[in-house]
Amino acid sequence: MANVETLRQGPAPAVTAPTDPAAFRSEDRLTGLLAFALAAERQEEASPETVALRQREAEAALCDHALRYLHNNIERLRQEAVAEQLGRLGRPPSFLRLVAANLVALAILVAAGGWLALHPETLAGVTGLLAG
């Protein structure tokens, strides 16, 4: 088993941390707790300036986190919706089916053209309607 050795041989340095968490209380409990944690992490005293500064920093950090969380959830929901919609779609037509559909369309066009060639009066009427 490995031994753990500390690099510091002397006594630990004195740590000053805010001792009064009530000074960091605000309307939003989470902001107050985060402000207290930020001040404790930086080992700052609970002066009014420090409290106000840490509360603003806590609010900014929480707003940034909320925005990132919202953005990530929206992206996840969009991906789920796209996947669900793609799952509902049927299979696309095959190449042979598309070729057959084009051949049928050409046959219908040839039949209509042949019929118009055999009935010139209908062709003249349609041409007159299209000319205005």
Q: 5 — phi, psi (to 5°)?
A: -120, 140
Burial class (CB in 10 A: 0-12, 13-18, 19+), 31: buried
- Render the burial of 68-83: b for 16+ CB within 10 Å, e for the rest: eeeeeeeeeeeeeeee
Give the pLDDT confidence score for residue 123 in this predicted structure.
83
Give the pLDDT confidence score for residue 125 in this predicted structure.
86
* Run means of pLDDT, 10 residues per run, the chain, 132 residues: 56 59 78 87 84 91 93 94 93 95 98 91 86 74
- Please report, for the chain, the start and end positions of each structural domain, with discontinuous segments joined by +: 14-90, 91-132
| d(C-alpha 89, C-alpha 59), whole Å | 45
Give the pLDDT confidence score for residue 43 in this predicted structure.
84
Percent of the chain with pLDDT over 90: 45
Give the pLDDT confidence score for residue 29 in this predicted structure.
85
Q: What is the pTM of this model?
A: 0.48
